[in-house]
A = this chain, B = another copy of it.
């Protein structure tokens, strides 16, 4: 019982070579003669050798891994970003650690724990106190911040919010929807705040005392539905709901259905993110596409560049977004035709 697993020494003995040669074979070093390599590989197989990653990491001083800290792993938005991050990290030969802070008691502890085992870290949203971020940064850990205000000199990846929020709001206003309610909490994230800014700016441009009221809500269907029901319960019902993300918009769809309101005739609804299901809703959801996978991929690349030491100056990248006009804003034929 408790027998030790085979190590590089086991293999070396079995094959009658030195551990250096075994190591070279394992790493595919071409300096090893073909015949030797074959023999060593055979030995590896027969003794059941599985190289120890920790030992390798210790010797090379590289973990070959990056960490991703998320507020919450669920939801299509996060899934999209993770997907892109994972693919990019993988393409660069790195493994990906993921950690969701929502399920954990002490995020700081968790993050500093994670930081022991990675070469760099991607931190998304308001998951970790700035202080912890700064601390890690001071320790020299390559860091990329996603959808989060900058801290010190980290790289930051964000997406364009303000301009398109303004454009989309103007679009609704120009279609005669005067009374528009913003559903989402501007204080919940920098992204939400910027969307709110754009929303307000569009109204200001048009002049006049137009009713603008943010309704607080978490960014999930259930909360969106509740907030929409509340927003629609007033005497002078709004003509449109500007939802801070697509999940909220889906909740708003449900609310509209419950109240017997037809979209977009009685009520226009817009979302944000362009999650995969957005186009399958009936009517298709007008929303703003974020390049989810690209956000993740870019973050991975940046953090790995830092790990490799190739860039020093902190970079803030703002990725473009794109307004996807479908039917829910009242633009196209109603019906639920399937649209790109």
Contact = CB atoms under 8 A, between A and B. Distances in A.
Given A53-B63, A257-B338, A337-B258, A83 B74 contact: yes
A211 interface: no
Interface centre among A55, A112, A253, A257 (most CB of B within 10 A): A257
A280 B221 contact: yes
B336 A257 contact: yes
- Which has the most chain B C-beta neighbours within 10 Å: A64, A114, A251, A277? A277
Given A54-B54, A65-B117, 20 more contacts: A50-B112, A50-B115, A53-B54, A54-B56, A54-B63, A56-B116, A58-B58, A73-B79, A73-B82, A74-B80, A74-B83, A79-B79, A83-B100, A96-B97, A253-B280, A254-B280, A254-B336, A254-B338, A260-B335, A277-B277
A23 interface: no
A55 B54 CA distance: 7
B73 A83 contact: yes
Given A110-B90, A116-B50, A98 B100 contact: no
B48 A58 contact: no
Interface stretch (A136-144, A151-159, A196-204, A264-272): A136-144
A99 to B, nearest CB: 7
| Copies of this protein chain in the complex | 2
A331 interface: no
Nearest to A49: B139
Contact of A76 (B76, B112, B258): B76
A100 B86 CA distance: 7
A100 B104 contact: no
